[in-house]
Structure 1
Amino acid sequence: MARPPSRKANSTEIARFLGTSRAISTVAQQRARLIFAIDATASRQPTWDRASHLQQDMFRTGTGATNLSLQLCYYRGFHDFFASDWLGDGTALASLMERVACEGGQTQIGRLLRHALQQHRELPLRAMVFIGDAMEESPDTLCQLAGECGMRKLPLFLFQEGDQYDVRQCFQQMAKLSGGAWARFDSSSAQRLAELLGAVARFASGGRAALENNPTEGAKLLLQQLKP
């Protein structure tokens, strides 16, 4: 049993505590919020390891950690779904990712999108990033959810490893319906993924103008698809 406090706080201390809590909450709400999601099923381990290092570039290439708050989400195994607290530090996020082992299982993209929509209702997100190579759910269901994201101005940035045709068709349609963008990469193009992640970070921090002001190859690819 936890020990009770040695004394009761007086009204001044309570007011100070509540004031500090409100200040922390206000700072958190002022940050641009971005969900960073990865398929953590068994085939994803090599990409997960790369992403755990590359995601730190999302902070460095944005406008700074003080303006960007990330939530790590992943699915794996048998209905295993994880969503972290909101983090504003790339090192903390990398440390969290390093402790995760990928496990075999089916995709849960629909569950991920429903989670993102719920988070967006509570406090608006600027975007959601998803990295994956497979899609084992109904394309109609996923596109319906992507359309809901679009209606609520939550763009999806879908980065596909490999070039499986049905996955590409679905991801491209989801990106279009949400007002986001799609791109592919492979196991040898870590730099391409880094550029794409950095471009999304800039978009989340400063909108379309931030991409136009720093037109890397990744930014150009996203700008071609983003709605004016």
Structure 2
Amino acid sequence: MPAITTALGFTIRLLIAVGLGILIGAERQLTKHRTGIVTNVIVCVGSYAFTAFSYLANDGNTDVTRIAAQIVSGIGFLGAGVIISDGTKIKGINTAASIWSSASVGILCCLDKWWFAAIVAGAMVLAHLLIHPIAEFITKKQEYNKEKSDKQETFYRISIVCSEENADEIKKNIIEYFRELDDVLLRNLEMSDVDGGNVKVRAEISTKRKNNELVEHIITHVGKHEDIISTGWKHIT
């Protein structure tokens, strides 16, 4: 291939950068992502042009790694602009990584061995077409398992520490309160002495599905009694 410092060599490499940018961008656009052909072509061409400048300005006698390092930093800021935080989810990381990687393809197009750029571009497309679906499958599988776990019957133990003289009354109130709840089953209720002449009342309950909010509501309701010293709950198996 002609040297990059010649018009023919520069043009050939530029066309390669455009072609590989189209390849990367086409996959992004066909899969309905925010950055498509135009963005990736511009990133590839821009990175190629900046790197080629270091060759042209000094007729090939220069340290091109300096320009490449600056491109990596600059494209990082561009990629950050497409990342969106949506509550607990972060969107756009793959798109940002694609833009960043497209810049590396443009830089590699400056080499005489231009096929290294083609290899990187091909690897990017394969990663999106083959590896990304696998990652999506694993994520959905994890979400399904979590949802399934949340719908299974869940067991809790509620602990209440109170004075000994009010233990029977509190125990009676607990039994009456649980009779009013449709989604909770009282499985066991026992009392034991603790230090200071107090009594700990333990209630083992089960819910049709994981429902920590309901247990917190129960604790709040039961804990309103003025003679209750402390309350708490935990999952049990």
Length-normalised TM-score, structure 2: 0.28
Q: Which has the higher contact order (CA 8 A, sep 6+)?
A: 1
TM-score, normalisation: structure 1: 0.29
Give the structure with the higher percent helix.
Answer: 2
Structure showing greater Rg: 2
